[in-house]
Amino acid sequence: MNLKGKIVLITGASSGIGAATAFAFAAEGARLLLAARRAGKLAEVASRALELGAEAVHSIDLDVRNNRAVQRAIDELPPEWAEIEVLVNNAGLSRGLDKLYTGKIQDWEEMIDTNVKGLLYVSRAVVPGMVVRHSGHVVNLGSTAGELPYPNGAVYCASKAAERSINDGLRQDLLGTPVRVTSVDPGTVETDFSLVRFRGDEKRAANVYKGITPLTPEDVAEAILWAVSRPAHVNIARIQLTSVDQANSLLFHREA
């Protein structure tokens, strides 16, 4: 599929995998709708995306946890931005690494509200237009954590298990339409993810990647771009990718 001039909405485009995905689609000449809460970071991504070849960029200051704001943002898109061809549901985060019985309820709410409810809200706002136009592709960011939970991460892992069910359920619900649904499930990727999880504790965040060669955000962006650029009749259901230093969400090979 040729992506030149196609409208691609990426949530969580201000950082990490979302930003790398914006750059990958920019190089294909796509028109980018970039959404996140940090407008300054989004402006930097937008400017780089234009340098890389994006046909146009429109940024949306959006918190995916706010259903009304999500619906309004989609309803109020300028007409030339309304026909979204690709939705990348990437906005997400983890908070804390705690045993379930000592975890902070506020952290749970933030993860579930963002990773599960936010993904649902954006999909609910965007997918009906795809169905009407008989064209579209939804890519959801899952994780190896959604397949196999790890200790102290039950709620984050559960949010990614929910993503897996929503992804597969949506594909069933769209059967009979040409709209495609793909889950891209990475293992450990070096981004701000751990910094966010540990609320800015740089040393603790760096330890996550110590002794391994993690995936890069660009590795994941390439997988997303590959899935989306298959011929229109091909639906890639799921791509799971890890670094060679990771076998699954529990097992790593770390150099001392």
Q: Which residue out of 101, 121, 150, 156 is catalytically annotated?
A: 156
Q: Which of 143, 159, 182, 242 binds ligand 8X3 (CB under 6 A)?
A: 143
- Whole-angstrom CA distances from 195 to 112, 238, 251 are 19, 27, 21
Closer Cβ to ligand NDP, 15 or 167, answer by number:
15
Report the partner that residue 192 touches, choosing among ligand 8X3, ligand NDP, none (CB closer than 5 to 8 A by kind): ligand NDP
- Does residue number 167 form part of the binding site for ligand 8X3 (CB under 6 A)? no
Report the partner that residue 191 touches, choosing among ligand NDP, ligand 8X3, none (CB closer than 5 to 8 A by kind): ligand NDP
Report the partner that residue 36 touches, choosing among ligand 8X3, ligand NDP, none (CB closer than 5 to 8 A by kind): ligand NDP
Q: Which residue has the tokens 């190896």?
A: 144
Closer Cβ to ligand NDP, 11 or 135, answer by number:
11
The type of residue at 130 is: M
Alpha-carbon distance 12 to 61, whole Å?
A: 10
Q: How far is the CB of 197 from ligand NDP (least distance, A)?
A: 9
**Residue 253 and residue 59 in contact, taking contact as beta carbons nearer than 8 Å:** no
Alpha-carbon distance 174 to 11, whole Å?
A: 21
Is the dihedral angle over the CA atoms 27, 32, 36, 42 positive or is it negative?
Answer: positive
DSSP 133: H
Segment 214-253, which members bind ligand 8X3 (CB under 6 A)?
Answer: 249
Region of 141 (left: φ > 0; alpha: ψ -120 to 50; beta: rest) is: beta
34: which residues sit within 8 A by CB, 6+ positions away? 10, 13, 14, 18, 22, 42, 45, 46, 49, 57, 58, 59, 60
Q: How far is the CB of 117 from ligand 8X3 (least distance, A)?
A: 18
Q: Which residue has the tokens 């293992």?
A: 187
Report the partner that residue 38 touches, choosing among ligand 8X3, ligand NDP, none (CB closer than 5 to 8 A by kind): ligand NDP
Q: Which residue is nearest to ligand 8X3 (CB)?
A: 143
Q: What share of the chain is helix, strand, coil (3-state, %, to 5)?
A: 45, 20, 35
- Does residue number 188 form part of the binding site for ligand 8X3 (CB under 6 A)? yes
- Does residue number 22 form part of the binding site for ligand 8X3 (CB under 6 A)? no
Catalytic residue at 101? Answer: no
List residues near ligand NDP by CB under 6 A: 11-12, 14-18, 36-38, 41, 62-65, 90-93, 114, 118, 141, 143, 186, 188-189, 191-193, 196, 217
Segment 189-218, which members bind ligand 8X3 (CB under 6 A)?
Answer: 193
Bridge partners of 181, per DSSP, are 138
Report the partner that residue 249 touches, choosing among ligand NDP, ligand 8X3, none (CB closer than 5 to 8 A by kind): ligand 8X3
Q: Interface residues with ligand 8X3 (CB under 6 A)?
A: 143-145, 188, 193, 249
Active site amino acids: 156
